[in-house]
Structure 1
């Protein structure tokens, strides 16, 4: 394990915060990189890259959403490896590059995985399912507060994962070089449809929450109205198309393999999260 600070890119995001907390609890030095960090880092401003890379040995890379952001992340890792980065742990998406499956919407993520693997740095790729915390720390929280989850996920299911499990797996991958060269898929213990997610959230909050199935283009339109760019809205639609097309209805055992324990169930996560007041009216 390196004794130089681990570089955490997008360190204030859902996974980056958890990785930082885990490293801090272990007394492992780390350095956050974001647009608001002391050493400013911006995926879309390449003039900030070299100073961020300088002195880094190991990095955790959580890329931005959308084709442009993923392409920028690919260029970044190539430059970082050329400038001395020795090892990278990449946050990707479950199903990227799976043989026999049609994951065309993940083409940008697959290109990024290939860029990491071809960079010359040692690598580990972690592919999680959708985060349960999307309903408490991201835009889906407002759907829960409104009592209606409006998405184009159809009747498909997803094995939603607690982001704390993701952070634990990422930390293990960063601290143990035995995971070098591995692609680790992780998920929750069971797939849930959006109706089942709504039922679990209803039970947890004590009020009725329903699922409204949107057509994909209506979903894009609503996301744009909420402030997303057209490109980002289409990227979100395409991610939900994986669920809509029933491509996520399976369980991945990476949490058990890496941590030696089962992943947390969505219903258990929802009950505990409700006690924090995050969904209070």
Structure 2
């Protein structure tokens, strides 16, 4: 089945964007991938790319890299949302961080520019352990964070993507805010135990100082400014404020959110840690 929708997925080659893109295509939606390698190419900080990529678009998934809390993000994303509204885009979903103070300014600015935007506030991605900064740490046997061992209701990105696609293709989601989490909270130590069982290797978790984290991240090739920004985000969100799970995935999809253990077994079967 095909539709008359054309949806722009910014960050379309990233962790969430490629899942949103795949689901949209499965539903017969014409997808335009918003990336530097896209056709036409898209770059957040090159306004000359904005109009071409918005041509004929009816909906847009807004995913800003590296994070909405970084300096300049609010102004950039809001300006793009305003341009999308001017070009006749009808639906928008903004990926944001749950409990992330620095992202609130971006949320407010985007809503002012495009009031119908659906906010998808995400808890920490389960896939960070298999597709992002935790992957090599899991393989090495120790995950490290510059915060106490707090509980977090990790979200499976397959669920997040399905919520985003539902909001981009269906009615009743305009202007709504969804806090997206998994069904239960796990400390990072508990998550490491789940990963150990799923992967068949011993994985532990350890809290380290911010200085140790930045030093290690820079040694692995991350720019110091980005590493320091991540520390600030970790400290601002992993302080207990986000421990309680929500039922928003069920509210939108009519089914419970996927459990972290199910994600871990699935990731292990794909060879993520081998």
- TM-score, length-scaled by structure 2: 0.92
The CA deviation string for residues 189-234 of structure 1, in whole angstroms up to 9 with x for no partner, is 1111111111111111111111121112321222222222233212
Equivalent residue number for residue 90 of structure 1: 94
Question: Using a 3 Å threshold, how does the CA distance of structure 1 residues 277 and 113 change in structure 2: closer, same or farther?
Answer: same
Task: Give the Cα separation in 2 of the matches to 1:68 and 1:226.
Answer: 23
Matches for 1:99-248 after TM superposition, within 5 Å: 106-107=101-102, 109-120=103-114, 122-248=116-242
Shift in Å at residue 121 of structure 1? 5.1
Task: Give the Cα separation in 1 of the matches to 2:109 and 2:57.
Answer: 19
1:26 has 2:27 as partner: yes
**Residue of structure 2 aligned with 1:70, choices 70, 73, 97:** 73
Question: Using a 3 Å threshold, how does the CA distance of structure 1 residues 231 and 76 change in structure 2: closer, same or farther?
Answer: farther
Equivalent residue number for residue 85 of structure 2: 81
Aligned-residue RMSD, C-alpha? 1.8
The CA deviation string for residues 108-138 of structure 1, in whole angstroms up to 9 with x for no partner, is x111111211014521111111110111111
* Alignment gaps of 5+ in structure 1: 97-105
Equivalent residue number for residue 276 of structure 1: 270
* Alignment gaps of 5+ in structure 2: none
Deviates further, 57-66 or 159-168 = 57-66
Task: Give the Cα separation in 1 of the matches to 2:54 and 2:128.
Answer: 30
- TM-score, length-scaled by structure 1: 0.90
Task: Give the Cα separation in 1 of the matches to 2:117 and 2:196.
Answer: 41
